[in-house]
Amino acid sequence: MKKYRALVLFPLLFLAAGCGTAGRYPLVNPSLKNLVRTPLPPARLKVEELVRRQIGSGAAGHISVYFQSLATGYWFGINEQEKFIPASLLKGYLLVMFLKAAETDPGLLHKQVELKDYSWLFANNTAPLPQIKPDQELVFGRSYTVEHLLGHMIAESDNNAAYNLQMNFLPGGLARVLHDYGIEMPDKEVPFVTVNNYMMLLLSLYNASYLSLGMSQKALAYLADSHFRSGLVAGVPPGVKIAHKFGERLLSTSDGQLMQLHDCGVVYHKKTPYLLGIMTRGSDLKALEKVITDISALVYAEVDASAK
């Protein structure tokens, strides 16, 4: 708990003193002395009711939600301690791992990597097959910089970019970063990350409390460049910036196929930016996308009405 408190409080003290960097780092928390208080949005009961309706209709079997106003600190969670398989959400931690290392080794981001096919690492062809595929594929045998692979890994949620980064650099680094955020990496694919966990990652980027200001800005810029336009993004008006990461995993169970879809991000509402994370389980990917979009739309409408 002390570690989490330090992650949040240190940058608040720093920024409250006034560092004159808000213009250089527009995606990072602005100086708190210029913060205007806004009313608390009465969204919780409405979101709970929407979640009940969505589960009752069969659109999802389980839904977890975490909301936090970055202007007031007001937050609420719905089933926020339920554990999920993070799937591609882990790429957010992998991004942070490389940017943390680049703070002391700036040349790391410019190193070249020859892209290789690491599917052989998975026994019996069990490499996760994404249901939401990249718009553009990287080419095996071609060399890319670490920075390019990081950007592609986040924007396109590309598994091959992630595999090559993990295999070539910083062995054991991902487990260490997860540990810093209070998460223990399991030795097999089981649910182990909550929506509450992932919000701590995004909050630390917004407050620049784990990475430097420059690297926090870079991480959020990568996340804001995500090409996934369903989920959270589809629930807000065009032009509203969202720094976010989605994750999806299709699993075979004794009851048939089970889909998990998650989307977590910082929503840059022009007056009241906020965190919103939604993790879901169900049988149909498109239905889960709509579940996330509907919750995102309701939360944005509540925040927007409160800000006005």
Predicted local distance difference test score (pLDDT) of residue 50: 97
**Core vs surface per residue 86-107: b (16+ CB within 10 A) or e:** bbbbbbbbbbbbbbbbbeeeee
Using the predicted structure, report yes or no on whether residue 229 has a pLDDT greater than 90: yes
Q: In this predicted model, what pLDDT tens digit does every residue of 111-159 receive, in sequence order?
A: 999 999 988 776 555 556 677 778 888 999 999 999 999 999 999 999 9
Q: In this predicted model, what pLDDT tens digit does every residue of 20-63 receive, in sequence order?
A: 555 677 887 765 455 555 555 667 899 999 999 999 999 999 99
Span 163-189, mean pLDDT? 91
CA-closest candidate to residue 303, choices 277, 262, 263, 268: 268
Predicted local distance difference test score (pLDDT) of residue 13: 40
Predicted local distance difference test score (pLDDT) of residue 43: 79
Predicted local distance difference test score (pLDDT) of residue 143: 97
Predicted local distance difference test score (pLDDT) of residue 30: 66
The span from the CA of 189 to the CA of 182, in Å, is 18
The span from the CA of 30 to the CA of 20, in Å, is 9
Using the predicted structure, report yes or no on whether residue 261 has a pLDDT greater than 90: yes
Which of 3.40.710.10, 3.20.20.70, 3.90.70.10, 3.30.70.270 is the CATH number of 38-307? Answer: 3.40.710.10
pTM value is 0.85
Span 261-266, mean pLDDT? 98
